[in-house]
């Protein structure tokens, strides 16, 4: 039994949603927002993996990694593409002032948690001049979290735990890079609740393995299946 962050998150949102997606094979149609975010992630990954750090090479990466799906029409796609170019131009300017060294891009970790394997992919890992590691997650939506929210963010904490247990690397800083908003928000990594998170991941994996998929209607209002799910309270 292998559990990724996405599977863990969805099981914790609603076990029935997990079942619809990963047992019954339901699909969520690609939206313009998701398509735009994925294109930016793919472009940044390709660019960071390549040697050249020019704006031109970043634009080339955007061109080759751009996904045209999910947009209602060509005009909407063209507007999104122009926005991506503006966002990446600003990102490139800020990147030039960074003093850190990138040591991992889309870095995968795997660690054993009892009978289960925990797997994940960290957008980026940087190392500062003092040797301290910074885990970076790119967000492409308009929102910007506070440093306190970054410190508590379950996804960042899941990755920090994975970096420690799967890569043998102790993160000092967690950073959410909100590339659309042009803001980077960092918080020191505080490891005191690691065991609690590890136990919760184990509990979720055990629930999935045992086929425990009870509906949790607290998430219905935000759920992609709210219109046709048998248990939805937000139809």
Residue 206 within binding range of ligand SF4, rule CB under 6 A: no
Helix (H) or strand (E) holding 193: none
Interaction between residue 213 and ligand SF4 (CB under 6 A): no
Candidates 3, 14, 167, 176: give the one binding ligand SF4 (CB under 6 A): 14
DSSP β-bridge partners for residue 173: 134, 188
Instruction: Enter the tokens of residue 186.
Output: 């960092």
Q: Which of residues 57 and 217 has its CB atom nearest to ligand SF4 in the complex?
A: 217
Q: Please, what is the minimum distance in Å from the beta carbon of residue 185 to ligand SF4? A: 29
Q: Identify each DSSP E strand in 128-225 by its residue range.
A: 133-139, 171-178, 183-188
Residues numbered 17-36 forming contacts with ligand SF4, rule: CB under 6 A: 17, 20
**Tokens matching residue 83:** 């926005």
We find the least distance from the C-beta atom of residue 133 to ligand SF4, in angstroms, to be: 36
**Which whole-number Å values give the CA distances from 21 to 7, 29, 73, 156, in the listed order?**
9, 12, 27, 23
Of 205, 194, 200, the C-alpha closest to 116 is 205
Q: What are phi and psi of 109, to 5 degrees?
A: -130, 150
Cα(27)–Cα(225) distance, rounded to whole angstroms? 10
With binding defined as CB under 6 A, does residue 232 bind ligand SF4? Answer: yes
Q: Does residue 225 touch ligand SF4 according to CB under 6 A? A: yes
The site for ligand SF4, by CB under 6 A, has a size of 14
Smaller CB separation from ligand SF4, 99 or 235: 235
Pick one of 8, 16, 91, 213: the residue that binds ligand SF4 (CB under 6 A).
Answer: 16
For ligand SF4, the closer of residues 160 and 215 by Cβ is 215
Residues that bind ligand SF4 (CB under 6 A): 14, 16-17, 20, 215, 217, 219-220, 223, 225-226, 229, 231-232
């Amino acid at each position: 039994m292998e559990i990724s962050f996405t599977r863990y998150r969805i099981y914790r949102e609603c076990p029935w949603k997990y079942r619809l997606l990963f047992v019954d094979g339901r699909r969520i149609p690609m939206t313009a927002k998701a398509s735009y975010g994925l294109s930016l992630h793919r472009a940044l990954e390709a660019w960071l993996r390549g040697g050249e750090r020019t704006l031109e090479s970043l634009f080339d990466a955007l061109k080759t990694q751009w996904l045209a799906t999910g947009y209602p029409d060509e005009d909407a796609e063209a507007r999104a593409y122009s926005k991506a170019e503006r966002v990446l131009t600003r990102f490139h300017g800020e990147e030039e002032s960074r003093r850190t060294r990138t040591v991992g891009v889309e870095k995968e970790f795997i660690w054993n948690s009892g009978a289960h394997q925990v797997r994940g992919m960290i957008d980026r890992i940087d190392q500062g001049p003092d040797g301290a590691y910074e885990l970076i997650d790119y967000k492409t939506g308009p929102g910007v979290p506070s440093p306190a929210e970054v410190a508590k963010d379950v996804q960042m904490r899941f990755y920090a735990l994975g970096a420690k247990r799967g890569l043998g690397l102790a993160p000092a800083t967690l950073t959410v890079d909100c590339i659309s908003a042009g803001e980077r928000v960092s918080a020191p990594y505080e490891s005191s609740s690691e065991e609690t998170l590890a136990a919760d991941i184990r509990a979720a994996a055990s629930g999935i393995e045992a086929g425990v998929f009870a509906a949790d209607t607290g998430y219905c209002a935000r759920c992609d299946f709210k219109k046709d799910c048998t248990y939805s309270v937000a139809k």
